[in-house]
Amino acid sequence: MATYEDKPTLTEFGAFSKLYAKVNGKLAGKVNANSKVRMPLAITIRDIAKKAGVSVTTVSRVLNNKPDVSKKTREKVLQVIADMGYSPNAMARGLIWRKTLTIGLVIPDIGNPFFAEVAKGVEHRARERGYSVIFCTTDSEPQREQEAIELLCSKQVDGIIVSLSVESRSVLERLEKQRFPVVQIDRKVPGSNYSAIAVDNVASAYTATKYLIRQGHSRIAHITGDMNTKTAQDRLLGYKEALSDWGLRLEHQLIVHGDFSKGSGILCMEELLSRTPLPSAVFVGNDLMALGAMEAIGKHGLRVPDDVALVGYDNIDLAASLQLTTIMQPKFEMGQLAATTLITSIEKGEPAVGDIILDTMLIERKSSAATVL
Ligand code: HPA
């Protein structure tokens, strides 16, 4: 059975190897060797072992809640720990056990309420399990995705939750070769074997488009997200499949490419408003872009839904305030599940197996309520 043995060797990550060697050299106990300043004597795991009359490994096993320690020994060690007031120092603990009880989270944009909610879920579950989280954002730029992962490895995190663009496959492959614990969230990189916690974006986009067709719309446009991501690609696929199943012609001029930001929603909607005849409805690749689209429609003196109906994706809090029909995703739960999956994999020393696909739901609000039959 495959097990995770080591953190990635940072030599693989070029620039970081130097830093690691230096930091590791210092932390390996040389810092205060010749220092004239007297440091308070910290109680170490060795002191505990000596006092309890057991090996350092046994103390470590007790602290890590590992099996193979008798009840009697466990109780004895815990008693000595309590008597001596020992509290493990995170850095030292990391060096001894090769565990820092820290995980990384790499997401495109913390300003996007979808990812903010996902991050909350990750942090909440991590805290429950005794882990801290280091957050990195990337704006979906492959270079920054790689740098974020390198940075987290240099911080010796125990595992990483990632939401990456499709171009970052090779970075994941390198981590996989080293059996480093990783879980993907929301965006799955095609070809990567790491487990993903996500929704079925093709099916949900199909539902959104089918709903608009059933509302009587036949000229339905789509504003895509960043096409460098699997989520945007799948949502476009679902839109196309629904049109095709209902015998509606695919008009390429009704598909415009955004990047998931509100600003791109404004620009894409303006482009669609220059088409004749106007689309009567738009399925927008996420709620942030849908908010931008709403703004653009208003600026042109048109009304939602009477002139153009809108359906978004995510159900961020603002969607309810602005009466936006949307696809609800369980964002917080997605984050929690990703953290559970990663931490379980770290603690078991085994990779997580398979993807977890969560349910979505169409929430109907006024942005699409008018019928145009
Ligand atoms: N990017 C931006 N917004 C999103 C995404 C995504 O991948 N998925 C759901 N909302």
In a domain, 373, yes or no: no
Record the pTM. 0.78
Residue 33 Cα to ligand 1 middle (Å): 51
State whether 208 and 321 are in the same domain: yes
The neighbouring-strand residues paired with 196 are: 184
Q: Which two tokens stand for residue 276?
A: 């004749």
Domain extent at residue 156: 102-198+331-357
**What count of other Cβ atoms lies within 10 Å of the Cβ of residue 185?**
29
pLDDT in tens, 315-336: 999 999 999 999 999 999 999 9
* Distance (Å, whole) CA 272 – CA 101: 49
Instruction: Report the chain's C-alpha Rg in angstroms.
Output: 26
Indicate which atom in ligand 1 lies nearest the CA of residue 114. Answer: 10
In a domain, 163, yes or no: yes
In a domain, 56, yes or no: yes
Say which CATH number the domain at 14 has. 1.10.260.40
Residue 286 Cα to ligand 1 middle (Å): 6
Answer whether residue 67 shows pLDDT above 80.
no
Residue 368 in 3-state DSSP?
Answer: helix
Q: Is the CB of 314 under 6 A from ligand 1?
A: yes
State whether 107 and 72 are in the same domain: no
State whether 297 and 352 are in the same domain: no
Number of folded domains that form the chain: 3
Which residue has a Cα nearest atom 6 of ligand 1?
231
If you write DSSP's letter for every residue of 218-287 in order, what string do you get? -SEEEEE--TTSHHHHHHHHHHHHHHHHTTPPP-GGGEEE--SSHHHHHHHHHHHHTSSSPPSEEEESSH
Which residue has a Cα nearest atom 1 of ligand 1?
260
State whether 143 and 292 are in the same domain: no
Q: Is the CB of 158 under 6 A from ligand 1?
A: no
In a domain, 62, yes or no: yes
Question: What is the H or E stretch that residue 161 is in?
Answer: strand 159-162
Mean pLDDT for 119-134 is 97
Question: What is the H or E stretch that residue 132 is in?
Answer: strand 132-137
In a domain, 308, yes or no: yes
State whether 179 and 212 are in the same domain: no
State whether 164 and 210 are in the same domain: no
Mean pLDDT for 103-132 is 97
Which of 128, 127, 182, 132 shows the shortest CA–CA distance to 153? Answer: 182
Q: Is the CB of 360 under 6 A from ligand 1?
A: no
Say which CATH number the domain at 338 has. 3.40.50.2300
State whether 165 and 235 are in the same domain: no
Indicate which atom in ligand 1 lies nearest the CA of residue 286. Answer: 10
State whether 172 and 26 are in the same domain: no
In a domain, 207, yes or no: yes
* Distance (Å, whole) CA 126 – CA 350: 18
Q: Is the CB of 225 under 6 A from ligand 1?
A: yes
Q: What pLDDT shows up at residue 19?
A: 30
- Which phi and psi (to 5°) does residue 158 adopt? -80, -20
Last residue of a domain, one of 70, 97, 124: 97
Q: Which residues contact 214 (CB under 8 A, 6 or more apart)?
A: none
- H helices then E strands: how many in the chain? 14, 12
Q: What is the largest CA-CA distance in the chain?
A: 86
In a domain, 89, yes or no: yes
pLDDT in tens, 216-271: 999 999 999 999 999 999 999 999 999 999 999 999 999 999 999 999 999 999 99
- The CA-atom distances, in angstroms, between 256 and each of 193, 221, 238 are 31, 8, 15
Last residue of a domain, one of 97, 127, 159: 97
Q: Which two tokens stand for residue 357?
A: 């696909």
Which of 174, 152, 194, 144 shows the shortest CA–CA distance to 342? Answer: 194
- Which phi and psi (to 5°) does residue 293 adopt? -60, -40
Please, are residues 275 and 256 in contact by the beta-carbon 8 Å criterion? no
* Distance (Å, whole) CA 45 – CA 63: 10
Answer whether residue 13 shows pLDDT above 70.
no
Q: What is the dihedral of CA 156, 159, 164, 168, to 10 degrees?
A: 70
Last residue of a domain, one of 73, 97, 121: 97
State whether 167 and 180 are in the same domain: yes
Residue 301 Cα to ligand 1 middle (Å): 29
State whether 216 and 298 are in the same domain: yes
pLDDT in tens, 90-99: 655 565 556 8
* Distance (Å, whole) CA 20 – CA 154: 7
State whether 266 and 245 are in the same domain: yes
Q: Which of 3-17, 197-211, 269-283 comes out lowest in average pLDDT? A: 3-17
State whether 268 and 249 are in the same domain: yes
Ligand 1: residue of 186, 261, 311, 360 to mutate (most ligand atoms within 8 A of CB) is: 186
* Distance (Å, whole) CA 159 – CA 153: 9
Q: Which two tokens stand for residue 20?
A: 């690691």
Q: Is the CB of 184 under 6 A from ligand 1?
A: no
Q: What is the DSSP letter of 164?
A: -
In a domain, 257, yes or no: yes
Using 50, 70 and 90 to split pLDDT, how confident is the model at 88?
A: low
Residue 308 Cα to ligand 1 middle (Å): 23
Quote the distance between the C-alpha of residue 356 and its chain's center. 13
Which of 370, 210, 223, 221 shows the shortest CA–CA distance to 292? Answer: 223
Residue 312 Cα to ligand 1 middle (Å): 11
Q: What pLDDT shows up at residue 3?
A: 47
Q: Which of 115-129, 268-282, 359-373 comes out lowest in average pLDDT? A: 359-373
Q: Name the percent of the chain lying above pLDDT 70.
A: 84
